[in-house]
Structure 1
Amino acid sequence: MECRLDFERGNIVRRNSVIFIFWSLIIGSVQELLLGKEWQYVLNYSSQGLTSIPRDLPSSAEGLDLSLNQISKINGDDFSSLPHLMFLNLSYNIIENISPESFKSNPELECLDVSHNKISNLSCDFLDFTPNLRYMDISFNTYTGMTLGDAFRSVIQLEYIALSGEILLNKDFESLADIQLRTVFLQLQNLTHYENTSLNCLNTQTVMITVTNRQTDVEVISDALSIAEEVTLLSVKNTSDYLYQAFEIQKGQKKKKASQFTFINSEMSWGAATDTLNVILNSTFIKHLYAYGFVMLGSIWEKKPIPKTSVESLTIRKASVTNFFFFQGNLYDFFINIMVKNLTIAETPIIHMTCPQSLSTLQMLDFSYNSFSESVFSKNETDCNNLTNLNTLILRGNQIQQIQKLSSRTKYMTSLKYLDLSSNSLKYESGTCHWPDSILTLNLSSNSLDHLVFNCLPKYVQILDLQNNQITTLSGDVFSLEALIELNLGSNRLLEIPHCEGFGKLGTMLLQDNSLYTVSLGFIHSCRNLTVMDVSNNPFMCTCNLKDFVSMKDQYQIEFLHWPLAYRCSYPETLNGLLLKDFHLSELSCNLILLLAAILCPIIIVTIAATILCIRLDIPWYLRMMWQWTQAKRRTVAIRHQDVPDGLLFHAFVSYSQHDSVWVKESLLPNLEEDQSFRICQHERNFIPGKSIVENIISCIEKSYRSIFVLSTNFIQSEWCHYELYFAHHQLLSENSDKIILILLEPVPQYLIPSKFYKLKNMMTKKTYMEWPQDKNKHKLFWANLRAALQIDLPTEVMAEPNSDAEGLLNEDTQHMLNHL
């Protein structure tokens, strides 16, 4: 046997081309039993030119590959530093001797390969310390006889053993009689002597034999058929005689055990191949026939009769012909008309297949990875009306392009339930498709289909696989698949989750590896039966929409496949790689109404509170007074840059009712005239005797920078106050300046002002007035504001104030008028 197992990084690597397919058959089981878990620490010293075992091996190693070196001897302490060693590959060295205590420190060893060395006997005393050994390959060494030593009795968990030799005797395998094996591989290509029933000591499920292609094979094959359920022959060369004789021997025996027969790497002519098949197909105990790596020699001209058989399944993989000039109909007709239930011809470069000539017993056809086009079976769609029992058709990995044309080839397969058309080049543009109504499962993955394919589907399909296509969107109003319960749209180009208007019974939706950035929950209302979803490995944009999608998992009791590790944020960059289960946004940031309420409510509350506070603290009054003060100061600065009008002697003329004279004399005048800051014109001391009241009023207003009117209910009732206001207002209009200051001594409602005082009403409406505050704390700001309004640089001459004598010279009429002020 020219192969070995290379254990590296937890995988078995196959390196032999001669019986490569043999290892592909058993390797799955070896991995299942020996490599079912991932090795944590594997050392690879293969092809290093080593002559001895390295001494610096880390004690934590679980695997060690020392193949393809020049090691000649295994000593007792070579592996003492590896207590956790579970597999060891020593193949392709020059080992002659293995010390009995070599594995004394390795009780966990499960796999040992010492093939292709120079071991001369099979005593194998070192096995006494390997109670957990499950796989052993000791083939291709220098021993000729295959007598196993008593040490094999201790490896009670052994399941795989590979041996080779030239002589096989009855008692050679007695030490394995009590061990239940799974597979025994015997490289007997150089066998020179075989003693009948030598295999009867083996208790195994599978026997794999490299035959000699000589008469010796007859007894070996016959014994193998008696002891194992599965018999595999390797390297059978262009002969059927030995098989015929072996099967004839079995006919006369009651002990017939094998139900599966396999050829690996066989070469036969057309005649020998059909005769060999007839031998096996005519047997009464073989139920499954396999051929791997089958080579047809020569041409195929002769048409062979179709045998009757009790074989249930025929599988041919990796077959080829050496002569391409032959009548293909003979080949195709032979296989399609064999009365088996399951027929597989795969990984074979055939381009066509004929239809059965009569009602076929075929229930499963597997033509995967061949070279079929959409014209598979026949050019005429009505020719294949004898496949009415077919329920499974697999055409995976061919060269089929037109799905519409292929549908017509299946039209008469009325029992077809499972159809696999994956890994082809299928396209659909338009036209009517003719599928049998019986199709329940359809696999169209790995093709070139877009969303139009939904117009060319079996109407009662239940499971639909469309992954790895070019579907960008779905429109449910175009198609109706009411029976659909599972839909696989993984690895497409979908930007959003499709709705279920066209398939209301859908329970499983698979959308992995698409282009889903954001997810809208609109689909959930139409997909009421949805229980399983796979939206993994999509470039999610973690926003508020995605927050709702994550909560849907629990809200609607939908199972998310591969949750949570395959669900991560891709955008924004700051969240790239974050698991969706760890992505959280507050309800406030995602709910516009709540967000507005959260913003507006505090603003409203603060506004109301500020308003109440302002009212309680009379802040508007302070602001208004500050504004008036600011404006007054601004005007004062502006006036200072101008020339003071001629004739100004007073800062202000005060007009008030006689009833308010106390406030004027005790509050207004003292606060303005202290330190002789301002000159105030007052009628009692500044009216010139001899002049009329009107003349004095006009004169005082003209000589004053401003006119102050102290407003109150008394002021409104005074006729002369109204005259003074009239003259001041007239001057304001004529000079186009702002010279009037209104001081509201007490609140005066508009409705109390007589209509004849319309000028006063207008001024109080349009002109800002100063209110006399009742709160003493506000008085200082009031006076500061008033002083700012009166600020101006007047000539230094001071008008002589009328004395008491002058005041006494006022005539009675004048005094009477003044009493009305």
Structure 2
Amino acid sequence: MRGSAHAHSYLWGPTANGKREHAGGSTVIHVLFNIENQDEMKMRTTVLHYLAFLLEGCLLIASARNCRTEYRFANFDFCNLTQIPPVPGDTFKFILNFNYIREVNATSFTRLEALVELQLGSQFTKYLIIRKDAFVNLPELINLDLAKNEMLVLDPQAFAGLSNLRNLWLYYNSLNESVLEQDYFQHFLSLEFVDLSFNHISRLRPHSLFYGLHSLNTLILKMNRIVVICEGDLHSLQGKSNMFLDLSNNLFYKSEIHYCGNPFRGITFDTLKFQGNGISSDKMLHFCNSVMGTSFLQLNFGSHIMGPGFGFNNTRDPVRETFAGLAESSLKILDLSVGGIFSLNPHLFANLSDLVILQLSRNKINQIQKEAFAGLQSLTNLNLSNNILGEIYVYTFEELSNIIVIDLQQNNIGSIQNNAFSGLEKLEQLYLQDNAIKTVYFFQTLPFTFFINLSENKLDYLNTPIKATYLDFTENRLKDLGSLHKILQVQSVQFVILRKNRLSTCIASGNISEDNQLLYLDLAENMLQIIWESEFCLDIFSKLSKLQVLHLDQNHLKFLPKHVFHGLISLRKLNLSSNLLSYLFPGVFPSNLTTLDLSKNQLLSPSPEIFTSLSQLDITHNMFICGCELSSLILWLIQTNVTLIGSQHDIYCVFPDAFFGVPLSNITVDDCDEETTLKSLRVYLFIFSSVTIVLFIILVVIYTRFRGFCFTLYKRIIRITIDDQMLAMDASACKYDAYICYSGKDFEWVQNALLSQLDSQYCTKNRFNLCIEERDFIPGEDHINNVCEAIKNSKKTICIVTEQFLKDGWCIEAFNFAQRCCNSGQHCTEW
């Protein structure tokens, strides 16, 4: 059931029961949902609606709100209001979103002569009633937002007095077509913009009063329920120029192909947006033939169903006749993005000779036939990104003599014929990123180009100079830093990006031009440390006299070669962040440097003298050792005029443990007065040196004049000391007279030659008590312990040194231990 169009009715959105009600003595018409349309709208709008609503609500709740007026700005979002609060008469902006206001009438607002913007959307009530003369006290209002109310009830005189209103938002209000077909807009003499998207409008037949809206140039009707527009439906918009009409995501796909005339006759369009309406090649042919003669600056048919797409073949690719009806439309911009076009057929756009921009991104384009772009002599911008192109041939871009921008990013391009871009003398920007290109031979025939983006490809070698100003080779597989020599043989190159490659070696191929114009060089996220460790290409920057910006971050750099920046006389900005630098040589940076990034390194105690020429410095997240060695840097940080990038809390100590994480700004250096410390040290060194020299001279004189007496005294002291030690030794403390150390292989000789003649246990007439391993070592005891005890408990140690003795490790160990014991004089062992 639809609302009647009489002069005294209100305009309502859907209600739950569809019955008539009364409010304020006037008839109220309820517009009941059509069940079929309701299901369709749920599929298309519910998710987007609630996501947007929740996002905006969360952001506003999280922000601080004052629920008051300040600086002529009245902010009353989320204030649980049920009535319009009073505000000062000079308020210029009044926000009342997200409240519980149910009704606005002639007494709701006091006279606000200065108010230019009013927001009254997203009320938490079931409906919002706008009664007669509700805004009559707001004569200067320019922007009125009533969007996102569950149901909006409008009196026919609701907008009385808003003759200066320019912009009106009425989206998400469950409004039907009556809002356009009745005379609710009769008071809008200056209206320029109307947003009626996400409503329930099923037909488009604006009231005749739209003739008088001479300033109206924007009408947004996306996400409604419009099925068809016929000739005469937009009669009240005839005569308007530069019109922006958005009919996206309606239900035009439900209408059958039949002749309905030209609904846009007499209207000159800036932009007509028709995307998301299920436009097939046949419907596109019908549309273009229907609007023949109408002038469009821009047509947007994105999210169409032209072309077979992938896995089905129920729609065909567009052909030359498809767009023939637009031949006299003076079309400048055509958007056919997001669809299923597989092949661009010959002479497809031959009738669009005025076309300047062609958007074909996000289709399934795999083939570009010969002469596909024939007739596009005026085309300057071609977007073929996000398709499935695999090859670019010589004929692909024929006849695009005025092309300036070609976008081929995010395809599967692996091969490009050498002359593919020849003849494109006006080409300035070429986007080839995110493809599978391995070689760049095609650049040999490429005319001079301002911007070339080859990032995210599979390039592993640059074999030819490239005539361009801006070159981007980010995220390829280049290994040789010497490629920079090849690039800079062309004087026109000013910007080079080699970030995220595999640069780890350097073989110079050609010489860098002395007249190179390079201004910007990005070598970040490579492996320059390996190159400079091998002492290759230490002079890579020596001829870059005009370079102003250099990025060397994330290169695993542990050191900087001493003269690596020699020649960079114009360098202003240097990025060395995220490396492993712990020390910087004085003078390593050029004196003209003004901005330096050393964050996320391992600097311990850098000298502030290194940073004297800078105006900006970032040394956050380093490994500062907070001792007196760092006092000069701490004092410099306090006194310097250099702008420190990042928070001071990120410039902190890591050692000693007691200062871990403490910002340098909180460290005091009162106990580290360098001058006082140096003076004290000089005094101590002078005294020590003087005393040492005097004592040395006295000792030399004494020794020279009394050396005989000194020698006699020395001998007497030695003799007394040795005699005292001998007397102190208790001979009875020694268990054995001697320990015989020998190799087990010499036992027979030792037994016959020594033991039988000396050892008392062999013969009672022998005088000595000897210790031998086979008889006197304790069984089970560690062998070395037995040896040690034997040596310590013997008056003498006798080693039978033979060839076998020298080969026996235990014998050598016993010999060494006996020697140490004898030298220490701590027991009775002698030699």
TM-score by length of 2: 0.51
Aligned mates of 2:204, 2:418 — CA distance in 1: 63
Aligned mates of 1:42, 1:138 — CA distance in 2: 12
CA shift, 1:461, in A, is 1.5
CA shift, 1:392, in A, is 0.9
For 2:135, the equivalent position in structure 1 comes to 150
Question: One-letter code of the match for 2:464?
Answer: F
Q: Which runs of 5+ in 1 are unaligned?
A: 3-14, 45-60, 65-78, 587-609, 641-821
Question: One-letter code of the match for 1:142?
Answer: Y
Aligned mates of 1:293, 1:618 — CA distance in 2: 105
Query: Which deviations, in whole Å up to 9, do the C-alpha atoms of 1:784-804 show, x marking residues without a partner?
Result: xxxxxxxxxxxxxxxxxxxxx
For 2:162, the equivalent position in structure 1 comes to 176
1:173-572 superposed matches below 5 A = 173-181=159-167, 185=171, 188-189=175-176, 191=178, 194-196=181-183, 198-201=185-188, 203-209=190-196, 217-219=205-207, 222=210, 226-234=214-222, 235-241=224-230, 244-251=231-238, 256-269=240-253, 278-280=262-264, 282-296=265-279, 306=289, 307-320=292-305, 326=314, 328-329=316-317, 333-335=321-323, 338-339=326-327, 340-356=331-347, 358=350, 360-361=352-353, 362-373=355-366, 375-376=367-368, 378=369, 381-402=370-391, 404-405=392-393, 408-428=395-415, 433-438=420-425, 439-450=427-438, 452=440, 455=443, 458-471=446-459, 475=462, 478-482=463-467, 484-492=468-476, 498-499=484-485, 500-511=487-498, 514-516=524-526, 518=528, 522-525=539-542, 527=544, 530=547, 533=549, 535=551, 538-539=554-555, 541=557, 543-545=559-561, 549=565, 555-556=570-571, 567-572=597-602
Summarize the Cα distance change of 1:502–1:395 in structure 2 as closer, same or farther, 3 Å threshold.
farther
Aligned mates of 1:200, 1:106 — CA distance in 2: 24
1:559-638 superposed matches below 5 A = 567-572=597-602, 581-582=618-619
1:125 is the counterpart of 2:114: no
More helix by proportion, 1 or 2? 1
For 2:758, the equivalent position in structure 1 comes to none
Question: One-letter code of the match for 2:244?
Answer: Q
Aligned mates of 2:188, 2:346 — CA distance in 1: 47
Contact 2:279 2:304 in 1 (8 A): yes
Summarize the Cα distance change of 1:566–1:151 in structure 2 as closer, same or farther, 3 Å threshold.
farther
Aligned mates of 2:42, 2:598 — CA distance in 1: 43
Q: Which runs of 5+ in 2 are unaligned?
A: 1-12, 15-40, 501-523, 530-536, 578-592, 630-688, 720-831
Aligned mates of 1:428, 1:546 — CA distance in 2: 43
Question: One-letter code of the match for 1:397?
Answer: N
TM-score by length of 1: 0.51
Summarize the Cα distance change of 1:87–1:258 in structure 2 as closer, same or farther, 3 Å threshold.
farther
Contact 1:167 1:193 in 2 (8 A): no
Question: One-letter code of the match for 2:387?
Answer: N
Query: Which deviations, in whole Å up to 9, do the C-alpha atoms of 1:61-84 show, x marking residues without a partner?
Result: 5259xxxxxxxxxxxxxx469999
1:137 is the counterpart of 2:121: yes
Contact 1:82 1:106 in 2 (8 A): no
CA shift, 1:384, in A, is 3.7
Aligned mates of 2:326, 2:550 — CA distance in 1: 43
Aligned mates of 1:536, 1:135 — CA distance in 2: 50
Summarize the Cα distance change of 1:414–1:290 in structure 2 as closer, same or farther, 3 Å threshold.
same
Contact 1:346 1:369 in 2 (8 A): yes
Question: One-letter code of the match for 1:416?
Answer: I
Aligned mates of 1:452, 1:215 — CA distance in 2: 55
CA shift, 1:366, in A, is 0.8
For 1:801, the equivalent position in structure 2 comes to none
Aligned mates of 1:221, 1:522 — CA distance in 2: 76
Summarize the Cα distance change of 1:238–1:143 in structure 2 as closer, same or farther, 3 Å threshold.
same
The residue matched to 2:247 in structure 1 has which SS? strand
Q: Which has the higher contact order (CA 8 A, sep 6+)?
A: 1
Summarize the Cα distance change of 1:144–1:99 in structure 2 as closer, same or farther, 3 Å threshold.
closer
For 1:100, the equivalent position in structure 2 comes to 84
CA shift, 1:365, in A, is 0.7
Question: One-letter code of the match for 2:302?
Answer: R
The residue matched to 1:203 in structure 2 has which SS? coil
Query: Which deviations, in whole Å up to 9, do the C-alpha atoms of 1:25-52 show, x marking residues without a partner?
Result: xx9xxx9xx99xxx9x9635xxxxxxxx
What's the Cα RMSD here?
Answer: 6.0
The residue matched to 1:313 in structure 2 has which SS? strand
Summarize the Cα distance change of 1:157–1:552 in structure 2 as closer, same or farther, 3 Å threshold.
farther
Question: One-letter code of the match for 2:466?
Answer: L
Summarize the Cα distance change of 1:303–1:292 in structure 2 as closer, same or farther, 3 Å threshold.
closer
Contact 1:270 1:300 in 2 (8 A): no
CA shift, 1:574, in A, is 6.5
CA shift, 1:354, in A, is 2.9
Contact 1:442 1:464 in 2 (8 A): yes
Question: One-letter code of the match for 2:494?
Answer: G
1:625-704 superposed matches below 5 A = none
Summarize the Cα distance change of 1:322–1:385 in structure 2 as closer, same or farther, 3 Å threshold.
closer
Aligned mates of 1:433, 1:425 — CA distance in 2: 16
CA shift, 1:314, in A, is 1.0
Contact 2:596 2:618 in 1 (8 A): no
Moved more, 140-149 or 432-441: 140-149
Summarize the Cα distance change of 1:528–1:278 in structure 2 as closer, same or farther, 3 Å threshold.
farther
CA shift, 1:152, in A, is 6.1
Query: Which deviations, in whole Å up to 9, do the C-alpha atoms of 1:710-767 show, x marking residues without a partner?
Result: xxxxxxxxxxxxxxxxxxxxxxxxxxxxxxxxxxxxxxxxxxxxxxxxxxxxxxxxxx
CA radius of gyration, larger in:
1
Aligned mates of 1:19, 1:580 — CA distance in 2: 50
Contact 2:180 2:206 in 1 (8 A): no
Summarize the Cα distance change of 1:315–1:158 in structure 2 as closer, same or farther, 3 Å threshold.
same
CA shift, 1:315, in A, is 1.3
% identical aligned pairs: 10
CA shift, 1:401, in A, is 3.1
Aligned mates of 1:575, 1:275 — CA distance in 2: 83
Question: One-letter code of the match for 2:336?
Answer: I
Aligned mates of 1:536, 1:20 — CA distance in 2: 49
Choose the corresponding residue for 1:43, options 23, 38, 61: 61
For 2:684, the equivalent position in structure 1 comes to none
CA shift, 1:300, in A, is 5.6
Aligned mates of 2:47, 2:324 — CA distance in 1: 25
CA shift, 1:460, in A, is 1.7
CA shift, 1:433, in A, is 3.9
Query: Which deviations, in whole Å up to 9, do the C-alpha atoms of 1:381-423 show, x marking residues without a partner?
Result: 2454323322210112222233x34x64113322211111122
Contact 1:173 1:202 in 2 (8 A): no
Summarize the Cα distance change of 1:180–1:127 in structure 2 as closer, same or farther, 3 Å threshold.
farther
